[in-house]
């Protein structure tokens, strides 16, 4: 056998899975068709950021990744939700959810995606039982009861006991395994970019809700001596495209109007990228000798920092099963158990985030007013507020 595990996909989830399974003693091949882009100003850089919620940190510690990431992370102590659904662009209601109400730790820690890939890739290079290849993707899959054979884009082949598909929402390994997906499209797109601002963020993450979707500011470490945040701005598709086409100067005017000035004047500190917004989940999380994780298994709108943290939940569940029966890695019993362990939580969270997204898109005045009233009711009832915060961190309801 060439390897114990082949990880298809070198995004954040794929790199984390590679590190986690290597630390557990498995021999891992990780392939990624994309070149390694590890600078925020490089063409094609992923300018989104990722918030690792509390439960995710232990997996990063166990994988040997956290010590590399911690110096670059910004803490998320407070989650602030603002309703700006009135007739102007001012904040008409603002509520803060403080992690100190439920924990001694912050809700999580935020890092830019390009930096995460840089640090994670550098860590993999230090591991003797990981082979990490960029510019090469997994294309074909042939499985038998005891092994999987993967055809790579350079014409070579590799064998393993388990294939982990971490290769995105259009996963070629999922398609090769014949696993169907259910997809919901919202007609939205998200603009992702970084800014500097006048007012320190004080480790407060802010979602500003208005017709079209939320405008989310997530703390980053200071950039060139100035307070900095990552922004994901969701809008209906045509408006998002129009915003993306603006000059930097005109775009700064628009984003400052949309931000309700919660952090003072914003200035662009990166390129802008644009991403389609969908919900998607696989009908089954495993097949013969293959397990789906991350966006190969589930895709969510970027609300509440659920997407990547669900992905790390996938990795933890799969890793626990693999280490419990290492000699049976990738067999049907293990992979059926993985599906059962994750599928209900995934479906619940996909449905919940989809509902929140549809609520954020409301345009009729009475419905916008109802959204604001609902936020006020949620915040005002302390036991419910704490339960929502705990569920957001991954606690089972």
Q: Read off the CATH number of the domain in which 164 is found.
A: 3.50.50.60
For residue 385, how many C-alpha atoms fall within 13 Å in the half-sphere facing its CB? 20
Token couple for 201: 């963020």
CA separation (Å) from 391 to 299, 348, 360? Answer: 18, 11, 19
What is the three-class DSSP state of 203?
Answer: coil
* 240 inside domain: no
Q: What local confidence, expressed as pLDDT, does residue 43 receive?
A: 73
* 294 inside domain: yes
Q: What local confidence, expressed as pLDDT, does residue 381 receive?
A: 41
DSSP state of 288: T
Token couple for 392: 């957001």
From first to last of the 397 residues of the chain, give the pLDDT tens digit: 699 999 999 999 999 999 999 999 999 999 999 877 767 777 767 767 888 888 788 899 999 999 999 999 999 888 888 877 555 566 667 777 788 777 788 888 989 888 999 999 999 999 999 999 999 999 999 999 999 999 999 999 999 999 999 999 999 999 999 999 999 888 899 999 999 999 999 999 998 887 778 899 999 989 889 999 999 999 999 999 999 999 999 999 999 999 999 999 999 998 899 999 888 999 999 999 999 999 999 998 877 666 778 899 999 999 999 999 999 999 999 999 999 999 998 988 888 777 766 665 555 455 445 545 554 544 454 444 444 445 554 544 3
Q: What local confidence, expressed as pLDDT, does residue 86 receive?
A: 54
Q: What local confidence, expressed as pLDDT, does residue 373 receive?
A: 53
Q: What local confidence, expressed as pLDDT, does residue 385 receive?
A: 43
Neighbours of 336 (CB within 10 A): 14
Token couple for 373: 């009233």
Neighbours of 271 (CB within 10 A): 16
CA-to-CA distance for 150 and 128, rounded, in angstroms? 22
The pTM score is 0.86
Domain around 304:
3-41+113-183+279-357
Total domains in the chain come to 1
* 396 inside domain: no
* 305 inside domain: yes
CB 7 within 8 A of CB 113: no
CA-to-CA distance for 290 and 332, rounded, in angstroms? 10
Q: What local confidence, expressed as pLDDT, does residue 371 receive?
A: 46
Q: What local confidence, expressed as pLDDT, does residue 53 receive?
A: 83
* 66 inside domain: no
Q: What local confidence, expressed as pLDDT, does residue 281 receive?
A: 92
Judged on CB neighbours under 10 Å (0-12, 13-18, 19+), 105 is middle
* 26 inside domain: yes
* 197 inside domain: no
* 317 inside domain: yes
């Amino acid at each position: 056998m060439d390897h114990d595990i082949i990880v298809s996909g070198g995004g954040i989830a794929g790199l984390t899975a590679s590190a986690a399974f290597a630390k557990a003693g498995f021999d891992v091949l990780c392939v990624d068709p994309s070149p390694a882009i590890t600078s925020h100003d490089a063409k094609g850089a992923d300018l989104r950021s990722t918030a690792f919620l509390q439960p995710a940190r232990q997996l990063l510690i166990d994988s040997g990744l956290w010590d590399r990431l911690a110096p670059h992370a910004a803490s998320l102590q407070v989650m602030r939700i603002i309703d700006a659904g009135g007739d102007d662009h001012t904040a008409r209601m603002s509520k803060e959810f403080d992690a100190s109400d439920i924990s001694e730790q912050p809700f999580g820690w935020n890092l830019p995606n390009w930096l995460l890939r840089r640090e994670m890739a550098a860590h993999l290079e230090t591991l003797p039982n990981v082979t990490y290849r960029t510019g090469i993707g997994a294309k074909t899959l042939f499985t038998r009861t005891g092994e999987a054979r993967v055809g790579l884009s350079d014409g070579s082949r590799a064998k393993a006991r388990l294939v982990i598909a971490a290769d995105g929402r259009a996963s070629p390994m999922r398609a090769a395994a014949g696993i169907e997906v259910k997809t919901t499209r919202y007609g939205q797109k998200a603009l992702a970019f970084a800014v500097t601002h006048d007012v320190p963020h004080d480790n407060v993450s802010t979602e500003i809700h208005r017709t079209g979707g939320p405008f989310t500011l997530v703390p980053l470490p200071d950039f060139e001596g100035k307070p900095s945040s990552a922004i994901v701005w969701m809008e209906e598709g045509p408006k998002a495209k129009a915003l993306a086409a603006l000059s930097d100067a005109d775009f700064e005017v628009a984003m400052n109007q949309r931000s309700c000035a919660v952090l003072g004047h914003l200035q662009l500190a990166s390129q802008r990228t644009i991403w389609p917004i969908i919900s998607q989940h696989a009908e089954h999380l495993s097949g013969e000798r293959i397990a789906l994780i991350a966006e190969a298994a589930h895709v969510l709108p970027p609300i509440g920092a659920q997407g990547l943290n669900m992905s790390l939940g996938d990795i933890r569940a799969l890793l626990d099963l693999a280490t419990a029966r290492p000699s049976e890695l990738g067999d049907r019993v293990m992979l059926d158990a993985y599906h059962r362990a994750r599928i209900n939580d995934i479906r619940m969270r996909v449905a919940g985030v989809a509902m929140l997204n549809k609520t954020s898109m409301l345009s009729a005045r009475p419905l916008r007013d109802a959204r604001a009233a609902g936020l006020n009711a949620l915040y005002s009832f302390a036991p419910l507020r704490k339960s929502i915060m705990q569920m957001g961190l991954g606690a089972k309801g």
